[in-house]
Amino acid sequence: MSRSRLLETDGFNQLANGYGGYYLYNIHDIYVGQAIEKYGEYAALEARFLEQLCGPGDVVIEAGANIGAHTVSLARRVGPAGRVLAFEPQRLVFQNLCANVALNSLTNVECHWAAVGSASGFVLAPELDFHQRNNFGGVSLVDARQGRRVPCAVLNDFLELDRLRLVKIDVEGMESHVIQGATQVIAKFKPILYVENDRVDKSEVLMRLIDGLGYRMYWHVSPLYNPQNFYGEEENIYRNISSFNMLCLHRDTPANITGMQEITDFSRHPLRKG
């Protein structure tokens, strides 16, 4: 039995004692699940960075929460006086998200079974075979023609919040859609935006959209492997794979950013060849 597993079942879900809490994960997930099983954490360098962006009492929105690997640490960071609103459209992934919130006795997390986009309504969320190896967090809802019909929320519906510190967006190519549906809430609170930007063909449009809302952007390239991982594993199963995100700060927000490259040329991307 793997040392990560606290619960040995005949199914695809296992339970691990990992960084910051307990995690129910799919053993066939080649990114999130595999990382939790081997390291007791997923994208921990990114998680540690996100923890620095908020503090006790803050409100955080997480669009694309997956099974809650970051949700748990963010919820612990903001504490009982804070809130985390976590959105996940995939049915079985959402169930794992809820399980992880419950397993860690987190009372400050609201889990929403929904996509996040530019308009309220419904979208199709493709359903994969969870008994087979796959990257379940890499499912894109963009132009999906089949799948389960799930609600699509817009963040502008959350204008009643009394504060908002951080919006984390990881939605597999729908980042611009999320921001288009959040312009009012962004204008009201001017939160920190942490936005995945790993699709070169969509990058410039995304950057110009965020720039038009009055934000400065900085590259945050975070390796998936953490040498100081929770289980102390020395093997790097991800080799040189990193996540490509942007830290976005409103120009009205005082900030002293060091060690990060500000984005000034929207046509350039670290993954662009040539």
Token code pair at residue 35: 């990382």
**Contact criterion met (CB below 8 Å) for 85 and 108:** no
What pLDDT, in 10s, does the model give residues 216-230? 999 999 999 999 999
- Single out the residue of 129, 102, 83 nearest to residue 22, CA to CA: 102
- In sequence order, the 6+-apart residues with CB closer than 8 A to the CB of 75 are 82, 84, 101, 104, 106, 108, 109
Q: Which residue reads 């990382």 in tokens?
A: 35
CATH class of 43-250: alpha beta
pTM of the model: 0.95
pLDDT higher than 70, residue 244: yes
**pLDDT value for 2:** 60
- In sequence order, the 6+-apart residues with CB closer than 8 A to the CB of 33 are 25, 26, 27, 136
- Single out the residue of 58, 67, 120, 111 nearest to residue 93, CA to CA: 67
Averaged pLDDT score across all residues of the chain: 94
**pLDDT value for 1:** 47
The predicted model gives 131-139 an average pLDDT of 91
Q: Helix, strand, coil proportions of the chain in percent (round to 5)? A: 25, 25, 45
- Single out the residue of 229, 233, 266, 232 nearest to residue 248, CA to CA: 266
**pLDDT value for 145:** 85
**Contact criterion met (CB below 8 Å) for 32 and 69:** yes
Locate the domains of the chain by residue range.
43-250
The predicted model gives 110-122 an average pLDDT of 97
Token code pair at residue 255: 């900030």
What pLDDT, in 10s, does the model give residues 22-64? 999 999 999 999 999 999 999 999 999 999 999 999 999 999 9
**Contact criterion met (CB below 8 Å) for 153 and 112:** yes
